[in-house]
Structure 1
């Protein structure tokens, strides 16, 4: 007995459809970055001043070495208060997330949205040839959806 498939032939995506929208089309490239030796107090001031929730940590070669977030700073505040330690000498490298998940700039934006949902992350750095080239945030995906009108995704 032959098995019949009722699934129709899928058309290849055409240029300009949602299938063709890449992370690199919507990622931020003018980034606020931090250095491992920077103080956590400086990071907190920058986060507040620039109204951002975190950012990548890079070395002198612009290689991604971590991410620091508001949550990382909050943990430090709590720890410093509990142990009665001043925060002036606390360095980013001691409190940043060192295992950083990145995504490819060529990834489809809607696949990236799924990755945001499954990972519960707020931002993903984009690295190319070992160097930080951009960052995509949940807000960037929302902006893209508004631009695309959310109805036809074209």
Structure 2
């Protein structure tokens, strides 16, 4: 008597080429952005209203010129109180980080995860042809891994 297979039907495995693994597949494209002329108070209100920890600063051509974060705003508040200076008329141009490191939208999400760890950043803007096209955050990387759960983790 012959032994029949006891494993049953097998699912077709999804090839790694079908699994989206690029930063551009998971980046946020509808961003809250700021302009350099905005006041720190406006930024603080936006950070609270939209429940975000920071955002890119762009010029009128949508070119990335900096990034502003909760920490930058807190530093402004702390310094103005320490020196007993009024907070109004202080634009984010004076508070934003200008040398912003970006990453390529074609980067593998696992390489991006390593970059987050090594650079200790919360977000990276993605720029194409000089224009801001999106941003990837640590939370976006986590969302990507949840979507990929059960899939092959190959590159």
TM-score by length of 1: 0.87
**How far apart are residue 102 of structure 1 and its match?**
0.2
- The residue aligned with 1:116 is 116
Q: After TM superposition, list the pairs within 5 Å mapping 1:119-138 onto structure 2.
A: 119-138=119-138
Q: Distance in 1 between matches of 2:90 and 2:57?
A: 15
**How far apart are residue 86 of structure 1 and its match?**
1.3
Displacement over 4 Å in runs of 4+: none
Alignment of 1:149 onto 2:121: no
- The residue aligned with 1:73 is 73
- Say which SS state the counterpart of residue 136 (structure 2) adopts: strand
Q: Distance in 2 between matches of 1:43 and 1:32?
A: 10
- Say which SS state the counterpart of residue 55 (structure 1) adopts: strand
- The residue aligned with 1:90 is 90
Q: After TM superposition, list the pairs within 5 Å mapping 1:32-71 onto structure 2.
A: 32-71=32-71
Larger Rg: 2
Gap regions ≥5 residues in structure 2: 1-14
- Say which SS state the counterpart of residue 134 (structure 2) adopts: strand
Gap regions ≥5 residues in structure 1: 1-12
Alignment size in residue pairs = 140
- Say which SS state the counterpart of residue 100 (structure 1) adopts: coil
**How far apart are residue 85 of structure 1 and its match?**
1.0
What RMSD over aligned residues (CA atoms) do the two structures have, in Å?
A: 1.5
**How far apart are residue 151 of structure 1 and its match?**
6.8
